Amino acid sequence: MEGIPLGDFDGQSLVLLAVLLVVLILASAFFSSAETSMMTLNRYRLNHLAERGHRAAQAAQKLLERPDRLISLVLFGNNFLNILIAQIATVVTLELWGEGALIASSAVLTVLVLVFAETVPKTLAALQPERVAFPAAFVLRPLLTVLWPFVWALNGVSNAVLALLGVRQLKAARESLTREELRTVVKEASAMIPQQHQQMLIGILDLETATVEDIMVPRSEIYGIDLDDEWPDILEQLMNCRHTRVPCYSGSLDNLEGLLHLRRLARTLRNGDDFSLEDLRALLVEPYYVPLTTDLYVQLLNFQKQKQRMAFVVDEYGDINGLITLEDLLEEVVGEFTTDPQVYARDVYPQPDGSFLVDGSANIRAVNRVYGFDLPTDGPKTVNGLILETLEDIPESGTSFRLGHLTIEIVQTAERSVRTARFTVTRPVAPPPVEALHDGDG
């Protein structure tokens, strides 16, 4: 077909066709952006907005309940419009320039459709899904009703193919997050959540990943009263005790007789009566024991159920390995309670040169939490245990090695263990908070 002069082509018709092409490209852009924005919406935020009565969110949520119908509607509209655009462009090209211009016309049309009907609207929708999806939802819902016969037909064919592939779930599956995925969500929301609250949320998520062994006060550090001591010595210990609850035993902690609450003792002494060892034993309450491998979340529930605040940690042989308090457990979530500077300096001593002198008995999780050392917590629970496991030997004073971003130097050893080590950090560490390493009730 030979081209005809431009004057033979009705000018008004040419303008109308050009306007129609622009309108069709914009309509195609609408379907493209609607598809991308709907699939990019944050489902948790969408559900939140819908529950609060956001009408656009409710409309979008309704559409996403059956993604097969939504996709069929969007693809039907998009492809119908693109085919119509191509046909109109072909007619205009043949009428104006003839068959020889079809290739050039197709190339130009492809660029226009890709840029203005696909790339630009989809990119915008991906960057701002709510601004695109919410208005689009009010258009797509009535369109779904009007075009239901076509959507139903497309769904029938598509679902039949999916059934052959073993996919029979047509409704959108409810998304669930693993603990690690939820941790990532909390961290990525740092701009909207205060850092302290973020740490508390992560602490709650980590309760099930740690056991009472990870945070317990070791047996060697448990403060208790030996009832076999002389009575004046026992009274002096009671008067000078800094703890609210004190274990009482005979000879050794393995012969634990009970737990003394000093408030009960204070009421007895206030009466002015003579106080004897027998009176002290009468004030003791039965100790509460928990297995070594109990995770912190379960132990928190157990403390609540048993109405206890302190528990003795026992191994598989029934031997006492340590002590855990409700305060120790809550500190894993909300941070340290203690603000006494003496307690703060008990395990870690910052030095003028920027290094830290660390006691070998320091709890790794507590040190990490306060100083951000990032020491591994999946093995030994104390700094001494970590050093011995890493070196696979009992080191001598002066031995040093690298562990991650730390240079660790053995400063003092005693009784086949590391008593003090020097930590030198090779990258900046945030200054420690005001609160201290936990001292516990034990």
Percent of residues, the chain, with pLDDT higher than 70: 87
Q: Which of 10-14, 151-155, 311-315 is predicted least confidently?
A: 10-14
The position carrying tokens 């689009």 is 136
d(CA 319, CA 222): 14
Tell me what pLDDT residue 34 has.
94
Tell me what pLDDT residue 286 has.
93
How many C-alpha atoms does 171 have within 13 Å on its Cβ side?
Answer: 6
For residues 328 and 316, the answer to whether their CB atoms sit within 8 Å is: no
CA dihedral 340, 342, 346, 349 (to 10 degrees): 110
CA-nearest of 411, 402, 403, 405 to 425 is 405
Tell me what pLDDT residue 193 has.
76
DSSP 379: S
Tokens at residue 221, please? 């550090």
CA dihedral 52, 173, 119, 112 (to 10 degrees): -100
Q: What is the pLDDT of residues 7-28, one digit of tens each?
A: 455 667 777 888 898 999 999 9
User: Which is more confident, 88 or 370?
Assistant: 88
d(CA 354, CA 14): 79
> Measured between alpha carbons, how far apart are the two ends of the chain, in Å?
98
| Strand, coil or helix: 345 | coil
Tell me what pLDDT residue 174 has.
57
Alpha helices in 189-248 (DSSP H): 195-206, 212-215, 231-240
**Domains of the chain from N-terminus onward:** 6-164 (no CATH), 208-331 (3.10.580.10), 341-425 (3.30.465.10)
For residues 419 and 349, the answer to whether their CB atoms sit within 8 Å is: no
Tell me what pLDDT residue 343 has.
45
The position carrying tokens 């191509």 is 86
CA-nearest of 328, 314, 280 to 441 is 328
| Strand, coil or helix: 402 | strand
For CA atoms 135, 137, 142, 148, give the dihedral sign: positive
Tell me what pLDDT residue 176 has.
67
Q: Quickly state the pLDDT bin for 175 (edges 50, 70, 90).
A: low
Pairs from 267-270 (Cβ < 8 Å, separation ≥ 24): none
Q: Which of 39-48, 130-139, 338-347 is predicted least confidently?
A: 338-347
CA-nearest of 442, 441, 382 to 417 is 382
| Strand, coil or helix: 107 | helix
Tell me what pLDDT residue 182 has.
78
In sequence order, the β-bridge partners of residue 162 are none
DSSP 225: E
d(CA 440, CA 324): 8
d(CA 406, CA 423): 6
